[in-house]
Amino acid sequence: MAAFDDTLRTRLAELITEHGRGLLQEPRRLEGLLRDTSQGRSGSDLHLLMQGLKAGIPVQLWDDLNRGLPIAGIIQRLVQRLEEAHISPQAARWCVESWCLALGMEVPIPETPTDRVGKIPLDSGFPVHQQEPPAQRIWTDPVTEMVFHWIPDGTFLMGDLFDEGGHDEQPVHEVTLDPFWLGKYPVTQGQWVRVMGSNPAYFKKGDDYPVEQVSWDDVQQFITKLNEMGSNRFRLPTEAEWEYACRSGGEAQRYAGGNDPDAVAWYVQNSDESTHPVGQKGANGLGLHDMSGHVWEWCEDWFDDMAYAKAGLRTHNPLRQNDASGDHVLRGGSWSDQPKYIRAAFRDWGRSDYRGYDYGVRLVWIGRANQ
């Protein structure tokens, strides 16, 4: 990596600690204080830090971390944002990591590059799990009674393992995820009403039916209100977390729990053109229901059909966002879809404000505030 001025990086952290994050609202003053430190030795590095501030890097870091998003994924996305502004990869990473350290965040160790190329064979020993599971692997939210299952950490192969999907499902690549907690079922109409006070669903057939006709923006409002109702915090799953959990922790499965759609999914050939109470189809290997078919499920990521090609063959806690796009990832397919669209690897998208009558949601439990 090119040599950068770590003295300037250290001074930035000292200034933020001394003056508080309010200094970020005074860019000229901050630049002057840093210039006094550099004494003209590292004008290009100072300019780079100020470019990061102008691009909103520190604000986005803080907001995304408070939403419980994985720090490695946040850094990767913001580095890409700066690269799109024609900043070199090394400079972009130094800038983002400098702002991380200035805000008191721990910077993860970068992934070791891999020389693996081409298609990765299915018998290559994946998935790999490292951490021991906790004593309690199921948790119930006291406000909504949503049930969450602990999803172990692991390294798995993400993408189209069966050579039957589109270009956006390729290349198959290694993804490493930290452990997380995911909802056993999609959010139900009864749970939505407890938080929002009204039911937006098209199929208003009962409290234990999945909520639908909810947009990504609606879901963000739901999460905000739910987070305000107690000490627990929630978010959407990332796309990688979703696929990993759908495939029973990264197993080579076409659908959520196996290769037979009728056993695990409501889809066009068996749904009778309607949703059904959650949990009536078989669970996958992690005890999760309805991840294939029933209702599409929103993810945190913004959609990019070339995301896998851009990510490389190895990533850790990936999260893709692009502020210039209005499309967010949808996964799982629905009651109205053919089998090819309810595959675990299939990727779809929707505008953040669009409410489809087969668009639903499943949440991640982050933990308790200040935990």
Amino acid at 322: N
Q: With beta carbons less than 8 A apart as the criterion, state whether 80 and 323 touch.
A: no
Cα separations in angstroms, 60 against 32, 152, 228, 345: 23, 28, 21, 29
Q: Is 104 helix (H, G, I), strand (E, B) or coil?
A: coil
- Report pLDDT for 204: 97
Structure tokens at 36: 């006094």
Q: What is the Rg, in whole angstroms, of the alpha carbon atoms belonging to the chain? A: 22
What stretches of the chain adopt beta strand conformation (E)?
138-140, 147-151, 154-158, 173-177, 180-183, 232-235, 296-302, 314-316, 327-331, 347-351, 359-360, 364-368
- Report pLDDT for 6: 82
What one-character DSSP code corresponds to residue 119?
P
Please state, in angstroms and rounded to a whole number, the distance separating the CA atoms of residues 132 and 177: 14
Amino acid at 306: M
- Report pLDDT for 37: 65
Q: With beta carbons less than 8 A apart as the criterion, state whether 349 and 329 touch.
A: yes
- Report pLDDT for 49: 87
Please state, in angstroms and rounded to a whole number, the distance separating the CA atoms of residues 170 and 337: 22
Q: Read off the pLDDT of residues 16-73 as tens digits, 9 standing for 90 and up.
A: 898 888 888 888 888 888 877 655 545 678 888 888 888 888 888 888 777 777 787 7
Q: Read off the pLDDT of residues 60-98 as tens digits, 9 standing for 90 and up.
A: 888 877 777 778 778 877 887 788 777 888 888 889 999
Amino acid at 301: D
Cα separations in angstroms, 20 against 30, 37, 175: 11, 18, 36
- Report pLDDT for 323: 56
Structure tokens at 207: 């409290």
- What is the maximal distance between C-alpha atoms in the chain? 73
- Report pLDDT for 114: 40
Please state, in angstroms and rounded to a whole number, the distance separating the CA atoms of residues 38 and 114: 37
- Report pLDDT for 122: 46
- Report pLDDT for 198: 98
- Report pLDDT for 131: 60
Q: Which long-range contacts (CB under 8 A, 24 or more apart) does 242-245 make?
A: 242/291, 242/297, 242/299, 242/331, 242/332, 242/362, 243/158, 243/331, 243/344, 243/345, 244/127, 244/151, 244/154, 244/156, 244/158, 244/175, 244/177, 245/151, 245/182, 245/286, 245/288, 245/291
Domains of the chain in start order, with CATH, are: 6-102 (no CATH), 138-368 (3.90.1580.10)
Q: Which residues of the chain are modeled with pLDDT < 50?
A: 1, 41, 111-124
Cα separations in angstroms, 257 against 63, 264, 273, 286: 35, 7, 23, 8
Q: With beta carbons less than 8 A apart as the criterion, state whether 219 and 234 touch.
A: no
Please state, in angstroms and rounded to a whole number, the distance separating the CA atoms of residues 124 and 126: 6
Q: What is the DSSP string of 36-95?
A: HHHTTTTHHHHHHHHHHHHTTHHHHHHHHHHTT--HHHHHHHHHHHHHHTT--HHHHHHH
